[in-house]
Amino acid sequence: MKSDGEIMEILAAYDLTGSLRATAELTGCSHHTVAKHVTARDAGRPIGEPTARGRVTDPFLPKIEEWVEASKGRIRADKAHEKLLALGYAGSERSTRRAIAQVKDAWRLGHTRVHRPWITEPGMWLQYDFGDGPRIGGVKTILFVAWLAFSRFRIVIPLKDRTAPSVFAALDRCFRILGGAPTYVLTDNEKTVTTAHVAGVPVRNQQTLDFARHYGVTVLTCQPA
């Protein structure tokens, strides 16, 4: 690492020549070193301050923390690496092992995060809601809007009403378009899904339970406001 005096000489030479390579020849260092210190000065960083370098695992740390928490620190690095690849991770397994070890150490010390952003996984969550469609022949239509949480793939189907047969038909159509059923289907507390709440626990419509059992999905609802 260059001393403050050497960095000042590099910057002074650059201000004199205006050339990275000429400065490098005058100061006896690489033109890459010159560029680094000039960029740091232009960005307002103190001279000699180390530059923080991001890691390929940084965007996935919340998900890794979630897996470590759910597995009580028992998840294996190779299994975590396979799951990360499905989420679009492009790093090496060595980087994954290093990240897993650090998160596990933090978990054992009780330093895991409590509040995390919701990071979805491929094929796990499908959410649906309704919107107002156009009037056709004076009759109001309903728009059934469903989307995959991970890919944001969206499906819009016009319906005559929001009755259970119409909703189930729309969900069936969604599953066929997607080529399979998700693990969870999330929606609001529609009467077609939830008939009541007892001590804060939702009571599901029997038709919804039969539908979920037939397709092998779990229907969940958002918490009422």
pLDDT category of residue 205 using cuts at 50, 70 and 90: confident
Reply yes or no on whether the pLDDT at 112 is more than 50.
Answer: no
Q: How many CB atoms lie within 10 A of CB 160?
A: 12
Say whether pTM exceeds 0.85.
no
Q: What is 125-221's CATH superfamily?
A: Ribonuclease H-like superfamily/Ribonuclease H (3.30.420.10)
- If you average pLDDT over residues 41-68, what whole number do you get? 79
Please, are residues 128 and 171 in contact by the beta-carbon 8 Å criterion?
yes
Kindly list the domain boundaries of the chain, sorted by start residue.
Answer: 4-42, 58-108, 125-221
Phi, psi of 23 (to 5 degrees): -65, -40
**What span, in angstroms and rounded, lies between the C-alpha atoms of 186 and 125?**
7
